Every structure is written in C-alpha cells, then in structure tokens.
Structure 1
Amino acid sequence: MLLRLTCKQATALLVAREDRELPTLDRLALRMHVAACRACPVVERQLLTMRNALRQWRNYTASGAD
C-alpha cells in the first residue's frame, strides 16, 4: 500500500486492524494519515469505543449476569 492513503483506504485499515496485525508499511501509512487528517481520528475513536463496549458486554455476559 502507498504511504499516501485516502480516507476510504485509511478507514479500511482501521477496521482491518481490529481483526489482525497490519504490515509495517500499512501501519506507518495509517499513522501518517491519521496525524494529518481531521476526520479519520474521529473514526478511530469510534472504533475504539465500539471495541471497548463489546469487551465490556462480553465480560458482563460471561459473568452470568442477565
């Protein structure tokens, strides 16, 4: 992947990062894009919020609480 990403490409990498470790070049390109973009850090925070909420929900349901 090129070092210059579009927001669409960056979003795809942010989502992919939830499932797997990204290659070094993709991680670097994503880091550079998020640092320079106004919108993509918002998407990143939203994904992190969803990940944390799902983790809490899994822990809650695993503890047997209904």
Structure 2
Amino acid sequence: MQSKKEFVDDLPNDNVFAMTPKGYITKEEFCNFLQMQLFRSTALCSHELQPLDKSFFKPLKVKWNSAVDNF
C-alpha cells in the first residue's frame, strides 16, 4: 500500500514510515521495525537497553572491588 504523502511531510530524514492495508501492524512490519531499530542502535543507548548494567551490576562491581581490595 502506498503511504499518504501528508503523513510523511514533516518527518525527519532518518525516519521511516510504513502503512499496512488494514491499518494494523503485521508480523512482517513488526520484524522490519525491530531490525531497523537494532541497526540504528549505538553503544550510547545501552543504559536504556540494559538497565541492569547501570542500576545493579555497576554498584555491585564497585562494592565487590572494594571488598576485594580490603581483603
């Protein structure tokens, strides 16, 4: 299905727009979306993708290293 021009007029250049015939997301469109998002991801967003690295494992590592140094 062709997209309606008015939907994409004000989108930034790096955005992608897709439409399905019935307006509901399909398995294929969802897989395409995931692939596009994974390829666009950079190491700068790892704290958003892996919150435990920042909120749990880093403090654990600091405490562990401190305990090992004190030992």
Give TM class, smaller chain.
0.3 to 0.5
What is the TM-score of this pair, normalised by structure 1? Answer: 0.32
What is the TM-score of this pair, normalised by structure 2? Answer: 0.31
Highest Rg: 1 or 2? Answer: 2
Decide which structure has greater helix share.
1
